[in-house]
Structure 1
Amino acid sequence: MAEHRRMRRGALLDAARALLAEGGVEAMTFPALARRTGLARSSVYEYFPSRAALVEELCAVDLPLWAAEIEAAMTVADDPRDKIAAYVGRQLAIATDSHHRALMALAAGDREAAAAAGLPPDAAWERIRAAHAGLTDMVVAVLADLGHSEPRVTAALLQGVIDAAVRCAAAPSSPPVDRLTADAVRFALDGVAGPLLRQPDALDGQQPGGPA
């Protein structure tokens, strides 16, 4: 019996992922879940009494898997710069996936509804916050190896670059994701001046950031 319930629960999560990937937030309804899995709508509610409960379960299962993907990409990279490139590139690949986008939109909508009602953030949003903190921990040591004196501050700034790239990717006029990712990686590694930061002579005697 327990195995049967576990399999049904897994089937509902798989159906929710598919609906989010195919049609976004609007597609992920309990009637659609019932149709996709062949269950009665009342049976869906036996496993997940609310949409918030379903979103929280998806976050509980999927966020660690996504974090493991990023960590694995960093592990196989050869040097600190390559690790940063892997960190940025893999995050963007995950964050621009339709399933991830829709899940984050659902969680954000539930958080806004809770805030409007004067309630604290729900469990899903707390899991997302904790997952982002874990990503920061993942990159701090690499930034220290690159010589940053305040690696946690740098990690927060780096995350800002990634978050900005995700917002750009969602814009109607966004460039292709692979080009956007390449630009974000380049910016993360070399900053606004790009290769000029490594070529002082090209700055006409000026130090990066101002006059000599």
Structure 2
Amino acid sequence: MPKIVEATVAEHRAARRAALLDAAVTLLHERPEEIPGLAAVGKRAGLSRSSVYHYFSSREDLLAQVVEHTFPRWEQRFQAAYAAEPTSAGRVRAFVRENIGLVSDGEHALARTLAAIAPAEHMGRHSADFHQRLVEPLTEALAEIGSTDAELTAQLVNALVHSGARQVESGADAHAVMAGILEILDPYLAARGDTASSI
């Protein structure tokens, strides 16, 4: 039996499962055109294929759990960025920075890969919920600074972000793209009393 380094068997299993999920994500980043096999995931995590079957029944089960693992991780990233901003305008900027950051970090490519290969019922539900939870703080921040139609303005900001994401995916510098989006947004934010620098 493998040595248990965590305090309990449950913690040991949780750590192994997390290591396997991280290994699967790494393989998806490296070769997005391939669905990683359980043996490859186990090898990357330092476990045998038979050990992997204690956590995932199939590649499809693994991918479904990668989806379950990935979206909360992304959401925590956004929540931390929002929490670090003391102003509503700062949270608008954080929305831009973190979205473009996901693309430059390769996480957006992971999302596209998962959309193509993960079980549709898992990906679709989590993707829709994730995007809704991301846009809600943006809409609230825009309402707080006096947007006359916060939902519409949030959609327009999101459109800028999507356009910027496509530019980064095509090879544009992520920092330059963020600066360009915020150059458009800053006069709007300044007109509502914000005086912070854009980045």
Residue aligning to 1:108 = 115
Alpha carbons 1:77, 1:83 under 8 Å: kept: yes
State the identity as a percent. Answer: 28
Instruction: Give the match's secondary structure for 1:122.
Output: helix
**Structure 1 position 38 matched with structure 2 position 46:** yes
Query: Deviations along 1:40-90, whole A, 9 cap, x unmatched?
Result: 334434422333432332232232232222222223324332221121112
Q: Say how many residue pairs are matched.
A: 184
Query: Deviations along 1:152-177, whole A, 9 cap, x unmatched?
Result: 22212222221221122111xx3211
Question: Which amino acid is 1:104 matched to?
Answer: A
Q: Which runs of 5+ in 1 are unaligned?
A: 115-120, 199-212
Alignment of 1:17-36 (within 5 A): 17-26=25-34, 28-36=36-44
Larger Rg: 1
Structure 1 residues 108, 4: CA separation in 2 closer, same or farther (over 3 Å shift)? Answer: same
Residue aligning to 1:137 = 136
Question: Which amino acid is 1:44 matched to?
Answer: V
Structure 1 residues 185, 48: CA separation in 2 closer, same or farther (over 3 Å shift)? Answer: farther
Instruction: Please give the TM-score of this superposition, normalised by the length of structure 2.
Output: 0.77
Cα shift at 1:190: 4.3
**Structure 1 position 182 matched with structure 2 position 189:** no
Give distance in 1, aligned partners of 2:29 and 2:109. 7
Structure 1 residues 53, 158: CA separation in 2 closer, same or farther (over 3 Å shift)? Answer: farther
Residue aligning to 2:4 = none
Give distance in 2, aligned partners of 1:168 and 1:183. 11
1:73 aligned to 57, 71, 81, which one?
81
Q: Which runs of 5+ in 2 are unaligned?
A: 1-8, 193-199
Cα shift at 1:25: 4.2
Give distance in 1, aligned partners of 2:153 and 2:65. 32
Structure 1 residues 133, 12: CA separation in 2 closer, same or farther (over 3 Å shift)? Answer: same
Cα shift at 1:142: 0.8
**Structure 1 position 8 matched with structure 2 position 8:** no
Cα shift at 1:102: 3.8
What value does the CA root-mean-square deviation take over the aligned residues?
Answer: 2.9
Give distance in 1, aligned partners of 2:110 and 2:92. 25
